[in-house]
Structure 1
Amino acid sequence: MVGPARPLFVLFGSSIVQMSYDVGGWGAILADIYSRRADILVRGYFGWNSRRAVNVLDQVFPKDAAVKPSLVIVYFGGNDSMGPHPSGLGPHVPLPEYVENMRKIAIHLKSLSDSTRIIFLSCPPVNETLINGSSSSGIFSEIIRTNELCQQYSEACIKLCQEINVPFVDLFTACQRKDDWRNACFTDGIHFSAEGSKVVVEEILKVLREADWKPSLHWKSMPIEFSEDSPDDLVAADGKTTLNPSSWTYYREIQWD
């Protein structure tokens, strides 16, 4: 650990989390937005479902850890919602068990500290046409991913969040607001493209902006590390003063709110 200490945000989930630091990924965008404000840690596991997540909660989020996360953003559901395989193998998790697994995750995270906040991301839609025509069909046994199943798991996650008072992002609905969302939001029909990642970030920031949390975890409300003026900063056009760059955002493609 290096100091000074910053608030810790953890992204916990399956491949949509593991791949979130790809070029233009939503985790990478958040890391940029929160630069000098919070450290963002990725704990994503390709192919995982909520059942596997529950089994490692104490290892990923030990209750005796010296540093407790200020925010955990959780995503599981895409793999859970896959149709069951006849062998009984595979990532499918029946809907009632998925709900209880997500409940266990929330309970564990809430137990870490009074100041640990949580956001759940619901299951996004998929591009069924692209998935069904994927060349990976010769590698895997039959993969059943449908928007009907995705919607069921998304709605179940949202219902649970409303019941246990956990803020959430309805990715199933948010993605479909974008024009040509099937092609725009996904690289392979499942994982987020750069455009899809922008949707995820926009929705997460909306939750953070509106949440009644003290202190606020919205980036504009958080202190900037080493933000004081310095004579070592770049000299302004007047030749007499310096320009403090600690809050500059001009280089960003999107000026996030």
Structure 2
Amino acid sequence: MVGPRRPQFVLFGSSIVQKSFGNGGWGAILADTYARKADIVMRGYGGWNSRNALQVLDQIFPKDAAVQPSLVITYFGGNDSMKPIPAELSSHVPLPEFIENMKKIATHLKSLSEKTRVIFLGVPPANDEMIIQFYGERAARSNEGGRIYSEATLKLCQELEVKAIDLWTIMQQKNDWLTTCFTDGVHLASEGSKIVAKEIMRALEEAEWEPSLYWKLMPSEFVGISPFDSEGNNGTIINSNM
């Protein structure tokens, strides 16, 4: 049995997206939350920067596709913010080019359809000491570099009227963020992912979008077919005795 097409949420970005479906990842949290409400599709590519994304943007999000996503959550900037040396270990993109790349990405995504919504994730903070511990003194990532590219992302989103989440600031409000949010100083541990998922859900709840993409306000699929179904029209329990 095939019902009406469910909304599709696409997670598009570098390794923070690619790893988000792992144990406790924010992509997995969204997939669990939106079960029976939306399909969460991962398009994450480890090591990529905004320059790489532009090269395949039309292939991943063709404008002539029969069905367009309801939401695209986009993250680039961490790799772009890397120091330019050593060149063989860096995915650095100069800040002016990064801003222009992200502008092109946002413009393309917004043009997919009148109902396609876009959220950009700003660059999260980083634990510099942990980065050196895992990657050595020549490590190209830094918390300060992330701040600069995060602020550029937020400013651009404000100009383009695209929703953005300031992860760099929000995550550092957690008292123990340095020790709990990362696996290696850069990539997110489950505690870091919980923050990302929470802020995405907050953004979706606050957005004045029609139709709403907040999970509590979205219909569930095939409700009422089974008397043992655990979910009602508004997400309430019908019968929990399985």
Could you state the TM-score of these two structures normalised by the residue count of structure 2? 0.92
User: What is the correspondence of 1:38-57 to structure 2 with a 5 Å cutoff?
Assistant: 38-57=38-57
Unaligned ranges ≥5, structure 2: 238-242
Unaligned ranges ≥5, structure 1: 235-242, 250-257
1:171-204 deviation digits (Å, cap 9, x = unpaired): 0011101121011111111111111111001111
Report whether the alignment pairs 1:165 with 2:161: yes
1:16-67 deviation digits (Å, cap 9, x = unpaired): 0000000000000000000000000000000000000011100100111111
* Cα distance, 1:87 vs structure 2: 4.2
The 1:18/1:86 distance shift into structure 2, 3 A limit, reads closer
Structure 2 counterpart of 1:109, one-letter code: L
The 1:127/1:89 distance shift into structure 2, 3 A limit, reads closer
* Cα distance, 1:3 vs structure 2: 4.7
Structure 2 counterpart of 1:90, one-letter code: S
1:123-152 deviation digits (Å, cap 9, x = unpaired): 011010011111x44xxx932222111111
The 1:88/1:185 distance shift into structure 2, 3 A limit, reads closer
Q: Which residue does 1:66 correspond to in 2?
A: 66
Mapped to 1, the partners of 2:211 and 2:23 lie a distance apart of: 31
Mapped to 2, the partners of 1:144 and 1:244 lie a distance apart of: 49
Report whether the alignment pairs 1:24 with 2:29: no
Mapped to 1, the partners of 2:196 and 2:230 lie a distance apart of: 31
Structure 1 counterpart of 2:227, one-letter code: D
Q: Which residue does 1:254 correspond to in 2?
A: none
Report whether the alignment pairs 1:80 with 2:76: no
* Cα distance, 1:225 vs structure 2: 0.5
The 1:32/1:92 distance shift into structure 2, 3 A limit, reads same
Q: Let me know the Cα RMSD of the aligned residues.
A: 1.7
Deviates more, 1:83-92 or 1:56-65: 83-92
* Cα distance, 1:90 vs structure 2: 3.1
Q: How many residues align?
A: 234
1:99-126 deviation digits (Å, cap 9, x = unpaired): 1111000010011101100000000110
Could you state the TM-score of these two structures normalised by the residue count of structure 1? 0.87
Identity of aligned residues (%): 59
Structure whose CA Rg is larger:
1
Mapped to 1, the partners of 2:14 and 2:88 lie a distance apart of: 20
Q: Which residue does 1:187 correspond to in 2?
A: 183
Mapped to 1, the partners of 2:147 and 2:133 lie a distance apart of: 21
Q: Which residue does 2:113 correspond to in 1?
A: 113
Q: Which residue does 1:14 correspond to in 2?
A: 14
Mapped to 2, the partners of 1:80 and 1:142 lie a distance apart of: 16
